[in-house]
């Protein structure tokens, strides 16, 4: 096998060709690794976007926080 580069010809030793089932297995493995890497990157991006958002997300959480704050304030006043 020969590759033509800008100024010279590079000759590579011929490698044994993989059987089709080995080639398919290797291709599947590489695709699985790429898919897992993509999912991991998306998960990290999603986590970072969640981490940037500060404060409660829903009105229920906001109300719960207000209740807890009132309870803490009352407890502090009683002491």
- Walk along the chain (79 residues) and give the pLDDT tens digit of each residue: 455 555 555 555 566 888 999 999 999 999 999 999 999 998 888 777 665 666 656 778 888 889 999 999 998 888 7
Report the pLDDT value the prediction gives residue 16, as an integer from 0 to 100: 80
- What is the reported pLDDT for 23? 93
Q: What is the pLDDT of residue 50?
A: 61
**pLDDT confidence of residue 6:** 53
Global pTM? 0.41
CA distance 63 to 67: 6
| Dihedral over alpha carbons 38, 46, 43, 58 (to 10 degrees) | -140
């Amino acid at each position: 096998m020969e590759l033509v580069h800008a100024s010279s010809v590079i000759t590579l030793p011929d490698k044994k060709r993989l059987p089709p089932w080995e080639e398919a297995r290797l291709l599947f493995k590489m695709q699985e690794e790429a898919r897992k890497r993509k999912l991991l990157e998306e998960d990290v991006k999603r986590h970072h976007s969640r981490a940037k958002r500060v404060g409660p997300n829903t009105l229920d959480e906001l109300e719960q926080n207000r209740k807890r704050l009132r309870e803490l304030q009352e407890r502090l006043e009683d002491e």
